[in-house]
Chains A and B, each alone.
Chain A
């Protein structure tokens, strides 16, 4: 099934599970997303494969970054008319707390969507949304 078909169906049914399994990297991380109260919530259930420091233990910084970048991409796919995969121009992440061996959550906001470029902000947390483990922002090329 092409990405176009996956996205079209997800928009009709509101079930984004197939979009997650259609992207191998998102499936490797074990990422999920769902629509709740009109907004998209992204989840990264804890998995041993995503550990970066076995002593703490803590999630790999790259996992948190990859999860947030893909959340931003999915947010754009879900919000836009086009189903073309947005291309990341730049991605910037600030790590605020260590990502523990626990489930991680994220929400995105499309700060600006132009014809060619979109700007998306992402917040990620574990225990509570008041205590973000990382914030990120990215520019995406849409054409």
Chain B
């Protein structure tokens, strides 16, 4: 879905800078896991998660826990929704389904890319892939939906930042 009316399309440099420096730092758990921003476009986003021993789910083989991939995919999917929106808005994950294709190889970075493929007045729909070498060979794939305007609280983005 082409999103032409996005905040991102209107202020690409400001939004990208904000995402790079403010978005992830303002989310303590992403910092806990070590998730970093890679890139974003209107309606899509990519994040990176370097391998760390603290993220291991199976101590016998060093494979990263599925829960870490859940956090990475939830974050990148929410970010893709944010990048599809016409203005500042809070969003909340409604549901998230992840299929695990193969274990993530220990010692290697993990990436996740999400695409918001449909946005309605109240809901946004997202597909995402987690991968190491290439998105054609995914570790996990996911579909999720997000509620728009989930809260009246302000987000970490203030309107005056981009205008």
B55 close to A51 (CB less than 8 A): no
Residues of chain A with a CB closer than 8 A to B151's CB: 56, 98
A54 close to B153 (CB less than 8 A): no
Q: Residues on B close to A: CB < 8 A?
A: 26-30, 32, 53-60, 64-68, 70-75, 78, 92-100, 103, 151, 153-156
A-B contact pairs, 25 of them (CB 8 A): A2-B60, A3-B59, A3-B60, A23-B65, A24-B59, A25-B56, A28-B55, A49-B28, A50-B28, A54-B156, A56-B153, A60-B71, A61-B74, A62-B70, A62-B72, A65-B70, A66-B67, A66-B68, A85-B60, A87-B100, A88-B66, A89-B100, A92-B98, A93-B96, A95-B92
- Tell me the interface secondary structure of chain B in the complex: mixed
Q: How many residue pairs between the two chains, A and B, have CB atoms under 8 Å in the bound complex?
A: 137
A28 CB to nearest B CB, Å? 5
B99 close to A90 (CB less than 8 A): yes
Residues of chain B with a CB closer than 8 A to A66's CB: 65-68, 70-71
Assembly CA distance A42 to B27 (angstroms): 25
B140 CB to nearest A CB, Å? 9
Q: A25-B57, A91-B97 are in contact. Are A60 and B29 (CB under 8 A)?
A: yes
Assembly CA distance A29 to B75 (angstroms): 17
Residues of chain B with a CB closer than 8 A to A29's CB: 67
Task: Determine the interface band of chain A, counting residues with CB < 8 A from chain B.
Answer: 35 or more
Assembly CA distance A72 to B108 (angstroms): 26
Assembly CA distance A59 to B92 (angstroms): 12
B94 close to A25 (CB less than 8 A): no
A16, CB-defined interface residue at 8 Å: no
Assembly CA distance A48 to B31 (angstroms): 11
10 residue pairs, one from A and one from B, having the closest CB atoms: A66-B67, A62-B71, A25-B65, A60-B29, A65-B70, A92-B97, A62-B74, A51-B28, A49-B32, A24-B56
Residues of chain B with a CB closer than 8 A to A90's CB: 97-100
A20 CB to nearest B CB, Å? 12
Residues of chain A with a CB closer than 8 A to B32's CB: 28, 49-50
Residues of chain A with a CB closer than 8 A to B30's CB: 52, 60
A67, CB-defined interface residue at 8 Å: yes
B104 CB to nearest A CB, Å? 12
A60 CB to nearest B CB, Å? 4
The answer, among B28, B54, B72, B97, for a CB contact under 8 Å with A25, is B54
Assembly CA distance A69 to B26 (angstroms): 25
